[in-house]
Chains A and B, each alone.
Chain A
Amino acid sequence: MTTEPTQLQPFVESFDPARSGLPGAGLGWLKALRKTGIERFEALGLPTPKLEAWKYTRLKPLEDTRYQPVTDEDGMAALNTVPSLLPDPGGRPRLVFVNGWMRPNFWIVGDLPDGVHLESLHDVLETRPDWIRERLGTLAGEDDSSLVQLNTAMMDTGFVLRVEDGVRVETPIEVIFVGGLTAHPVAYSPRNLIVLGKGAEATVVRYHVGLGAGAYFANSVTEIDVGPGALFRNYKVQAEALEATHIDTVRARVARDATYESFSLSIGGRLSRNEVSVRLEGEGAHCALNGAYLMRGSEHCDNTTQIDHLVPHTTSREVFKGVLDDESRAVFVGRIVVHKDAQKTDGYQLCKTLLLSTGAEIDVKPELEIYADDVKCSHGATTGQMDETALFYLRSRGVPEALARNLLVQSFIGEVLEEISDEDVRRAITDQVVHWLPAACYLAEEWRAE
């Protein structure tokens, strides 16, 4: 729990000078919220491996880098083309942030049906302060992690999506967070809020992408409230820059008969941690928490998830797959908690990792905590290297070794990509995986089509 004050100080010190310029500075309640945030952060300190939840991840970059607040220059960095994940947005809704700065000239909010409100955090704090006051911090509150507290204090950007009862958004909404292109290491703190009404449906794709060089620290928090019978798909691709530190906290609540589906692809960033917790609060609620991590160099990626089954008749499914090359390291902690009386829970979890290099390391902790008896829960975890027989099989058919290796990585990851139910997103994420593979020989369209 103890962190050297020297490591905490820069963050705490940057709070006072920054607070007047942060969104919603005129709102008393928000001021109080931010103040509590920074106090709680100071009390908790930066997480260290001494904490069980951080056993395998050390926030080294935060200890030895002095991040500065984002300036206009950083936020308005020239952007010739928007690094979009989904091809040709057409009428597809799209928000773009650069180092946390809103860049409305790139925004497309066009085709959204009535009853869908997609706005920046800034705007909502101005136009509907009472509405957001009731919701902000309800899922990621005072008792949450220290990095959530830091975000609460510093939140300087983000978006709010509100979908009214019964409204269905057919096309995925893409939210692009561009980092990098700064002269000094910078820190920014997106805070997103997503609220789906009864029977609503929506899909959001967050694309955290690094451009050029530059160290930065993105500390993002997203609160998601999925109403009764609603369906929310939360996809994320994290392709941060080589020197980036990416912390992404997601807190979701799923009501009766609602479904929360997520997929998180991690393919870049010096250090990344995706910390997701989902509370299944109503009978018939379901969540699918899936992801893949592909790491090389000395990248470190931590996926820490918790699913709380709070009431009877809820189901969860979780599949993660990882490929680690060079000296990279990944952590997967998956905790499933079945609370007292949450009978008829069905929980399934699988984590498989492929180690491509001797220097790579994987640490896995799949955890079941069960206080009800009429349940069906299981988890599985495997680690291993590439199947030499399969490799020989492909090569004996004439497939060159490098391509054969790529094919087998694709084959390995392919299983988890099938968990993505939105076809456009699946295709886009598949492309990202294919392009991660060693250059010069990856397969083209056919593999994707199958």
Chain B
Amino acid sequence: MLEIKNLHVSVEGKAILKGIDLSVQPGEIHAIMGPNGSGKSTLSHVIAGRDGYEITGGRIIYQGEDLTGLAPEIRAAKGIFLAFQYPVEIPGVANTTFLKEALNAIRRYHGEDELDAMQFVKMMREKAKELGIPEDMLKRAVNVGFSGGEKKRNEILQMAILNPRLAILDETDSGLDIDAMKIVAEGVNNMRAPERSTLIITHYQRLLDYIIPDKVHVLAHGRIQRSGGKELALELEEKGYAEFGEAAA
């Protein structure tokens, strides 16, 4: 699904990622953990294709294809989804409209028929219901006036509708109380499928109590320092990131 080989990334001339290797197979859930400033968010942004990151070495291979140079929307069409740490507010653009445009753009890319408003709203309502998202949230402008928990749930709703092959959850657990986190985790777990892979980026272990990863990687100083099974997360919980150069917050 995703092969990252010796990836080096700089931002404004400063090296952030200094040689990342990562291999995620279909159906797997990987957790990337690490202290603040270790490059976790950079990694997620680079996979999704955000401008301003310079790849100075290495490659990102997704489903056998080098992603370098592809626009973010093309990557999205190819099935990459990034749940943002800070979902963006877009006043005046309704959630429904936005998602319909996104979904239809992706469908067009694959040569599929676009959904009309009726079909789309029906589908959206179903997904929203599953995630316990109230109807009025769909009508409101994208993320405007949403609480922290609502924003994160909205991200999961978008994920459910766009049905990605590779989902990246960037600090999705930050700022969530335990109930909100359970809802988010349930949404992710429901989408677990043999053809789908998930990358969970987090500072804390607690989300991994609800979403059990196949593999855990520790990212620090721009490199994967250690990889292991889910037990590695528990170990980090206990010891913190001290051995990687920072005390657990």
Contacts and interface: CB of A to CB of B under 8 A. Distances in A.
Are chains A and B touching in the complex at the 8 Å CB cutoff? Answer: yes
Give the secondary structure class of A's interface. Answer: helix
A392 B50 contact: yes
B7 interface: no
A393 B92 contact: no
A433 to B, nearest CB: 11
B82 A396 contact: yes
A446 B94 contact: yes
Contact of B96 (A398, A408, A412, A446): A446
B87 A398 contact: no
Interface in A293-350: none
Interface stretch (B24-32, B101-109, B178-186, B215-223): B101-109
Contacts of B94: 446-447, 450
Contact of B93 (A387, A400, A410): A410
B72 interface: yes
Given A401-B73, A446-B96, A446-B117, A393 B101 contact: no
B63 to A, nearest CB: 16
A63 interface: no
A398 B87 CA distance: 15
Which of the listed residues A403, A404, A408 has the most CB atoms from chain B within 10 Å of its own CB? A404
Nearest to A402: B73
Nearest to B78: A398
Interface in A404-442: 404, 407-408, 410-415
B97 A408 contact: no
A390 interface: yes
A450 to B, nearest CB: 4
Contacts of A415: 91-92
Given A443-B101, A446-B100, A397 B158 contact: yes
B168 to A, nearest CB: 10
Contacts, number: 100
Given A393-B88, A398-B73, A411 B93 contact: yes
Contacts of B90: 390, 393-394, 407-408, 411
Nearest to A416: B92
A403 B88 contact: no
Contact of B92 (A398, A399, A403, A414): A414
A395 interface: yes
A238 B141 CA distance: 29
Contacts of A398: 73, 76-77, 102-103, 105-106, 109, 162
Interface string B136-147: 000101000000
B246 interface: no
B93 A393 contact: no
Nearest to A408: B90
Give the secondary structure class of B's interface. Answer: helix
Contacts of A401: 71, 73
A393 B87 contact: yes
Give the interface size class of chain B: 35 or more
B102 A397 contact: yes
Which of the listed residues A389, A390, A396, A412 has the most CB atoms from chain B within 10 Å of its own CB? A396
A13 interface: no
Nearest to B101: A399
Contacts of B195: none
A254 B71 CA distance: 54
A394 B76 CA distance: 10
Contacts of B51: 388, 392
Nearest to A418: B92
Nearest to A445: B117
Interface in B217-235: none
Nearest to A387: B88
Contacts of B213: none
B97 A450 contact: yes
B76 A403 contact: no
Which of the listed residues A387, A412, A446 has the most CB atoms from chain B within 10 Å of its own CB? A446
Nearest to B48: A396
Contact of A397 (B49, B50, B96, B98): B98
A404 B73 contact: yes
A408 B91 CA distance: 9
A450 B99 CA distance: 14
B105 A443 contact: no
> Top 5 nearest A-B pairs by Cβ distance?
A414-B92, A398-B76, A395-B72, A450-B94, A397-B102
Interface of B: 45, 48-52, 71-73, 75-77, 80-82, 84, 87-94, 96-103, 105-106, 109, 117, 139, 141, 158, 162
Given A390-B90, A414-B93, 15 more contacts: A387-B88, A388-B52, A390-B89, A393-B87, A396-B49, A396-B73, A397-B99, A398-B106, A399-B102, A400-B73, A408-B90, A415-B92, A446-B94, A446-B97, A450-B93
14 contacts: A388-B51, A392-B50, A396-B49, A396-B50, A397-B99, A398-B106, A398-B162, A407-B90, A408-B90, A410-B92, A413-B92, A415-B91, A447-B97, A450-B92
